[in-house]
Amino acid sequence: MNLSALKPSLPASLGRDLPASIVVFMVALPLCMGIAVASGVPAELGLVTGVVGGVIVGLIGGSPLQVSGPAAGLAVVVFEIVREHGLEMLGPILLLAGALQIAAGLLGLGKWFKAISPAVVHGMLAGIGVLIVVVQLHVLIDGAPLPNALESLIAIPAAFGDVMRLTTVKGPAALAVGLTTILAMIGWEKLRPANLRLIPGALVGVAAGTALAAAFALPIKRVEIPDSILGGLKLTDAAGLAGLMAPGPLLAAVIIAVIASAETMLSAAAVDKMHTGPRTAYDRELSAQGVGNAICGALGALPMTGVIVRSSANVQAGAISRWSAILHGLWILAFVAAIPWALEVVPTAALAGILIVTGWRLVSVEHARGLFRRHGALPAAVWAATLIVVVAVDLLTGVLVGLALAGIEILPHLKRRYLVVRRHDTADGGVDMRLAGAATFLQLPQLEKELAAVPEGATVTLRTSRLSYIDHTTSEMIADWAERRKGGTRMPVDHSAPSHERRLANALPA
């Protein structure tokens, strides 16, 4: 990559990117700390990941407006790694995961992560959201998270019963701070004035909870930050790398690499819908994420992904280049270096409140309803099954079960594994796209390549009468492609058309 090509864009974009970077910084700061606490590691490790994600991945990534940093979706995975293998093994595991991502990007595997069923990805995120809420409910009352979700869930009534009986001062005080944080965050997002819309709800929530704790000098847990942020790092050494020979750490590295990559690709696709600038180069973004995770692994910090909350804030704040993400990482570094004491007044219950809202939003039942409306019962069942198994068993099992169930959808159509795409340019400047065979996730990269070659602005007519089947993963991809195109897309079907054709036609933008 020619980094010198970035320099000319800096002066022209600074007027938009500088204020946007400050907005993203305000969103990222409480989330970096909160996700670290939810992961069972010191808060400064989340801040280090925020800096690396902003500066390094922001500089070399393939999605210019995507912002990278610690993600709630990996908090549960990290918590389990630290519990089973110790904090000293997190760095080596993450270093290997980053190397796997770099290799995947260089081998051109980025496009295949987009072929993962949306029902599985969102079911996984929903399961993670439930786990975050269940675990953080204990932190909300100044308790300690329990080893697994089921134990945490079973212990919630007794824990909150003690709070209601006022057996200690700390529990009710922490609960008051956490609820204040949640109400302030949600209330601000719903009622904030238009001229203050760029101030994030998470920051307002943490400020409100912190102010309450300080005003009444409440005896509750606060964030602990070392005198030097470098003092909290557990640098990876030769002994840690030797520990990667065991099956457990190796599997953990693969899990982090797959989940982080899938979440990044999902976020990048969502960010592409929000703006009209350069599209994501998926393989480059995947390798850049690997570089970032390898650096975080060497430093013993948290894993990172592209994160939709910070990325959407970046786009909405008016960013037009990668410099906004880079600058937000520098603001985090400057804040931690200059006034680390400001972080130590933040109650952990306030961060738990932020994460409970974040976890609840990951569940996104509306996505399951959308799957059912557009594609029928099976994708919605895949979503639900993935969620349930992630919560009841573990993350890897849940994802594997979801992938197996998603595969059932295409089993009857494997005898027609081919997909033929014919493009014909019409006299009026339009494009006829004729599909024949079976359009499943197995052919998704081929179909995406064909669609990407269609000229912008041309009216596209999709003809699918010779298509024996289209699965929900491919249908969602086509709908996303049609939605972000500048030209129109139409698909003539009648009431006698097969159900898969009618569902695709209904999913296309009007």
pLDDT 10s digit of each residue in the chain, 510 long?
A: 454 444 444 556 788 898 889 989 988 999 999 999 889 899 899 999 999 999 999 999 999 999 999 988 899 899 999 999 999 999 999 999 999 999 999 999 987 887 888 888 889 888 888 988 998 999 999 988 776 777 888 888 998 998 898 888 899 999 999 999 999 999 999 998 988 887 888 889 999 999 999 999 999 999 887 766 666 677 888 888 888 989 999 999 999 999 999 889 888 887 887 787 888 899 999 999 999 999 999 999 999 999 988 998 898 888 999 999 999 999 999 988 888 888 889 999 999 999 899 889 888 888 888 888 888 888 999 999 999 998 888 888 898 899 899 888 788 777 666 888 998 888 888 889 999 988 888 888 888 888 888 887 788 888 888 888 888 888 888 888 887 776 678 888 766 778 878 888 877 876
CB neighbour list of residue 322: distance below 8 Å, 6 or more residues apart = 6, 58, 59, 61, 64, 65
Instruction: Name 11's Cβ contacts closer than 8 Å, sequence gap at least 6.
Output: none
347 token code pair: 């109650």
DSSP letter for each residue of 424-454: EE-TTS-EEEEEEEEE-GGGHHHHHHHHHTS
pLDDT for 231 equals 65
Residue 230: the pLDDT is 66
Which backbone phi and psi does 278 adopt, to 5 degrees?
-60, 140
Residue 228 is predicted with a pLDDT of: 67
Secondary structure (3-state) at 44: helix
| Rounded Cα–Cα distance for residues 58 and 285 (Å) | 10
Helix then strand then coil, % of the chain, to nearest 5 = 70, 5, 25
Return phi, psi of residue 464, to 5°: -125, 20
Amino acid at 20: A
Residue at token pair 């212990």: 155
Percent of the chain with pLDDT over 70: 95
Nearest one of 98, 473, 440 to 300, comparing CA atoms? 98
295 membership: H or E segment, kind and range: helix 282-299
Q: Which helix (H) or strand (E) holds 469?
A: strand 460-470
Q: Report the pLDDT value the prediction gives residue 6, as an integer from 0 to 100.
A: 45
How would you label 45-83 residue by residue, b for 16+ Cβ within 10 Å and e otherwise?
bbbbbbbbbbbbbbbbbbbbbbbbbbbbbbbbbbbbbbe
Residue tagged 């994460």 (tokens): 355
Structural domains of the chain sorted by starting position, each given as residue range(s) with its CATH number in brackets: 14-354 (no CATH), 363-412 (no CATH), 413-507 (3.30.750.24)
What tokens does 192 get? 């904030």
| pTM across the whole model | 0.81
Placement of tokens 């939003």 in the chain = 361
- The token duo for 215 is 């005003």
Distance between CA atoms of residues 366 and 371, nearest Å? 9
In this predicted structure, what is the pLDDT of residue 223? 86
